[in-house]
Amino acid sequence: MRPQKAAARALGLAVLVLAMTGGALGSPVTAGAAAAPAAASKGKAAALPDLKPGAGSFLFTGWAGKPLKVHYYAPDKITETTRILFVIHGAGRNADGYRDAWIPYAKEGQYIVLTPEYSMADFPTSLTYNVGHIVDEAGNPRPREEWSFASIEPMFDQVRKATGSKVPTYAIYGHSAGGQFVHRFVELWPDARYSRAVAANAGWYTMPDLAIKYPYGLKDAPTDAAGLKATLEKPLTILLGTADTDVNHHQLSRTPEAMTQGVHRLARGEFFYAYGRKVAHELNAKFAWKLDYAPDIAHSNTGMSQYAQKLVWE
């Protein structure tokens, strides 16, 4: 969809958001709120991976969480300027399949693809994987370096060191549960070094609202009004398949909180973008999010990737 059409559609959605929220957010937490931690996660000393040309995998242990099998693609020649893309899988945990869908584009663009596998054995639930595992099952805060989000930055550093790439930033893309992971990563990891984050066809969202309890909003999450404003100024693209409209999809969340965001993934993504635009206006933030569409694509990572492969390098 052309930018002007997407913008017009989003403007209409913003009006809907105002109607649904009564025209105002809950009061943002400002006084006494702790800013999101800025320090990078503490990685464990680990052997550097050997990324041979083509598709392969390695075990990443350079962080405080469980070891991660990382499926990768590396071009034949890696230089100091070789770009790095993270691809975050969905609830099926099929990281190798997600990697494979990106190989044709990575070959053409000569960049590295990293797809960490958040296995069902070690990350068995939405709480432990795509919600970030920032709290335990009892709701108690967990150490930041053990959040699932904490795996990305040290993995980037380790792969740069192993390959000789000296790029200062990376791109990150996630589809379905991976899209949930990516947009929450943007909201809660303020010093992440991505140049562009693309969240595709997420099933439900963490609203940029400090009055809605996490994970449906940011209340009780480790951020504040300044962090929220910064989030709205991040390079986040919401990518939606125009045919991802199955209201009976077996993986679609139907909790009351999720249903307030829309009846299917397309509606929920549009609602999230419009909500962010509204909050950015209220906070006088320089709204940097983008909304884009994959025409006639339903809930398919392969289908979405053909559109995302251009957006990740914008």
For the cut 50, the answer to whether the pLDDT of residue 28 exceeds it is no
pLDDT at 161 over 60: yes
Alpha-carbon torsion angle 180, 185, 188, 189, nearest 10: 180
Tokens of 27: 């009061």
Helices (H), strands (E): how many in the chain? 8, 8
pLDDT score, position 45: 58
- Nearest CA among 262, 256, 292 for reference residue 275: 262
Q: Is pLDDT at 146 greater than 50 in this prediction?
A: yes
Q: Is residue 14 pLDDT above 50, yes or no?
A: no
Pick from 170, 161, 193, 189: nearest CA to 45? 161
Alpha carbon distance 195, 185 (integer Å): 13
- pTM higher than 0.85 for the full model? yes
Of 205, 174, 197, nearest to 91 by C-alpha is 174
Q: Which residue has the tokens 């951020």?
A: 223
Percent of the chain with pLDDT over 70: 85
User: pLDDT (tens digit, 9 = 90+) per residue, 245-286?
Assistant: 999 999 999 999 999 999 999 999 999 999 999 999 999 999
The band of 33, judged by pLDDT with boundaries at 50, 70 and 90, is: very low
List the domains of the chain with CATH numbers.
3-311 (3.40.50.1820)
Q: Tell me the C-alpha distance between 260 and 57, whole Å.
A: 40
Question: Any idea what DSSP says for residue 146?
Answer: G
Residue 123 sits at φ, ψ, to 5 deg, of -135, 70
- In this prediction, residue 101 has a pLDDT band, given cuts at 50, 70 and 90, of very high
| Residue 120: band (very low, low, confident or very high) from pLDDT cuts 50, 70, 90 | very high
pLDDT at 31 over 70: no
Please state whether beta strands 194-200 and 112-117 pair in parallel, antiparallel, or not at all (unpaired). Answer: unpaired
Average pLDDT, the chain: 89
How many percent of the chain have pLDDT more than 90?
A: 84
